[in-house]
């Protein structure tokens, strides 16, 4: 997702392209494609909490000094990037989620120990699981 896809005035996100990271001719690289189906091209609303998080993300990138504008097939100004300014790869996301789960579980183990109770441990999950969780909750 690029910042140009986000309209904070009308609170919508335009979904009109897909970023992929695959091996082409033996080299791992990013490329942009169109979504799988015509129905995949859509505009989705930005809820209040998401709006706040998007604004925080923009501020965080400025604070961290992430200014490199990595370009892929004419697209640039990506919303979520590494410290180097490159978009996240699936492995980046998997590792980030894994670190978050471990940190949460470590805190829960410590808290449960102090409170003399069984800890409630988060299981491992993928970014794809988060997509399904969001869609399920949105539907309710």
Structural domains of the chain, ranges and CATH numbers in brackets? 1-88 (1.10.443.10), 89-140 (no CATH)
Asked if pLDDT for residue 58 goes beyond 60, the answer is: yes
With b meaning 16 or more CB within 10 Å and e meaning fewer, what string describes 31-52? eeeeeeeeeeeeeeebeeeeee
User: Within 13 Å of residue 125, how many CA atoms lie on the same side as its CB?
Assistant: 12
Whole-prediction pTM: 0.75
Where residue 107 falls among pLDDT bands split at 50, 70, 90?
A: very high
CB 19 within 8 A of CB 72: yes
Across the range 4-24, mean pLDDT stands at: 93
């Amino acid at each position: 997702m690029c910042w140009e896809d986000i309209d904070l005035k009308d609170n919508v996100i335009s979904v009109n392209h897909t970023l992929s990271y695959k091996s082409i001719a033996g080299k791992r690289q990013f490329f942009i494609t169109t979504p799988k189906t015509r129905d995949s091209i859509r505009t989705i609303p930005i809820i209040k909490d998401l709006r706040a998080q998007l604004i925080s993300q923009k501020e965080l990138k400025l604070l961290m000094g992430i200014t490199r504008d990595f370009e892929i097939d004419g697209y640039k100004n990506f919303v979520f990037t590494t410290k180097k300014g490159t978009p996240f790869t699936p492995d980046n996301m998997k590792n980030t989620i894994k670190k978050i789960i471990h940190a949460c579980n470590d805190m829960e183990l410590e808290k449960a120990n102090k409170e003399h109770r069984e800890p409630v441990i988060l299981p491992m999950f993928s970014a794809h699981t988060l997509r399904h969780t969001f869609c399920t909750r949105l539907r309710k």
